[in-house]
Copies of this chain bind each other. A is one copy, B any other.
Amino acid sequence: MADETVEIELPDEDSYALAAKKVQSILIAVEEGNSAGLKELLEPLHPADIADLLEQIDERQRNDLIAVAGDGIAGEVLSELEESLREDVIGQLTPEALASAVQELRSDDVVDLVEDLEEEQQEAVLDALEPLDRHAVEQALTWPEESAGRLMQVETVRAPEHWTVGETIDYLRGEEDLPDQFYHVILVDPRMKPVGYVTLGRLLGSRREVPLKDITEDSFRIIPALQDEGEVAYAFNQYHLISAPVVDEEGRLVGTITIDDAMAVLDEEHEEDILRLAGVGEGSLSDRVFNTTKQRLPWLAVNLATSILASLVIALFEDALQQIVALAVLMPIVASMGGNAGTQSLTVAVRAIATKDLTGSNVWRVIRKEMIVGLINGVFFAVTMGVIGVIWFGTPILGVVIALAMVINLVVAGLAGTVIPVVLEKLGIDPALASGAFVTTVTDVVGFFAFLGLAVVLML
């Protein structure tokens, strides 16, 4: 099982992942200490791919690579790296390499880079910046974490609202310091409040004398700097925004958010939802064993508590189990079916809450629907499992018991799977985080209780 000898190759249908051969050549160059060869291999790679490479190799290889590559690790690589690795990698860089790396970054990327660093490293990065850039970054860090203020770049391209196309183009052509990427010119009033924007395409396609006011876009939306970044991502996705002006509490323009940043946030939020639904708080592949263990343990502890609760229900029926051992054989089936149906309902509900499709106007209808779906599937599997039970154990009444328990548990699963996330959301608890434990507790307890209870009533 050594890394070097056995190789599972994932299908290579995709053109974007780093080819295994390329990784091999890079690691060989690292081992040979061939600095020039390594730089040549890294040069054509996108910083995001280099970051992925650093995440995939092990710690020793990573440190060697950084030592051999020296200042070949650009700032963009750092900003693409997973948080859990950034501190390590930054710690490996010489002060000169770090300085040259961060100077090339956009202000929002520097903010993203330093916000989670320890103070000492944060200072080192800030010291490497030009005074003006440093000021912009420190300014951005005064906004709360995960706010639009942290996400925005402070560079804006703006024009007074009374300008014409010609005036704007002349201004842009004379301006030395335009941002690398911008898609709109923001119109501001004399008090710096954004009043509209014009796409560059429209600007280029219009005659010089046209007033900017006449060619602004309907899609214009203003983002408050204090808004949660998840809401920002929602707005970009929902309204197909490309860029949007960000304003402070007085409504004055303080920055711009572009769609690539919003897309990254959307991606993170999805990731978080998926991991939380599975009971993995946060965490990534490159976390150390200790961190991974620590992240997963609390969720397993919650699960232990809920499964002990279910066992206490079973313990109520020890006599029945001793008399009819078939009950012990069949009872996990009822609980498992309920758990699965509940997870189905809750996942749909959690997603619908996240995308704002589940609201006050349809929540009762959705609950009713989930219960009907549970009922229909319940009846289907009740009949199936009832027949199997009779054939297996030759006791018709056992078939009736498991069938009834199945129907009850699947209806309850539909109800609990919808109500629990809605209630958690109302209480201000992330439904992705906590619903799973509650729902399976309900379906386990109800499943065991219904099955064993019915058995006592009908069979003993």
Contact = CB atoms under 8 A, between A and B. Distances in A.
Nearest to A12: B360
Interface string A20-33: 10010000000000
A134 to B, nearest CB: 24
B238 A300 contact: no
Contacts of A322: 322, 325
Contact of A57 (B8, B361, B373): B361
A357 interface: yes
A436 B346 CA distance: 16
Contacts of A23: 359, 361
Interface in A245-303: 259-260, 262-264, 266-267, 270-271, 273-275, 277-280, 283-286, 289, 292-293, 296-297, 299-301, 303
Interface string A410-425: 0000000000001001
A238 B48 contact: yes
A361 B260 contact: no
Interface residues on A, range: 35 or more
Interface string A338-351: 00110110111001
Contacts of A2: 364
A337 B173 contact: no
A377 B293 contact: yes
Interface in A389-422: 422
B337 A314 contact: no
A361 B57 CA distance: 7
Contacts of A277: 274, 277-278, 347
A191 interface: no
B373 A289 contact: yes
A304 B46 contact: no
A333 B180 CA distance: 57
A299 B342 CA distance: 12
Contacts of A359: 10, 17-18, 20, 23, 56
A332 B46 contact: no
Contacts of A303: 336-337, 340
Interface stretch (A66-74, A117-125, A203-211): A203-211
B236 A263 contact: yes
A351 B267 contact: no
B292 A369 contact: yes
A271 B1 contact: no
A382 to B, nearest CB: 11
A307 interface: yes
Given A259-B242, A273-B274, A205 B328 contact: no
Contact of A329 (B11, B56, B315, B329): B315
Given A289-B372, A296-B341, 17 more contacts: A16-B234, A16-B235, A23-B359, A56-B357, A58-B365, A175-B205, A183-B200, A259-B263, A262-B263, A280-B344, A285-B357, A292-B373, A304-B381, A304-B384, A310-B336, A322-B325, A332-B448
Interface of A: 1-3, 6-11, 14-18, 20, 23, 46, 48-49, 52, 55-58, 157, 169, 172-173, 175, 178-183, 199-201, 203-207, 227, 231, 234-240, 242, 259-260, 262-264, 266-267, 270-271, 273-275, 277-280, 283-286, 289, 292-293, 296-297, 299-301, 303-304, 307-308, 310-311, 314-315, 318, 321-322, 325, 328-333, 335-337, 340-341, 343-344, 346-348, 351-353, 356-369, 372-373, 376-377, 380-381, 384-385, 388, 422, 425-426, 428, 444, 448
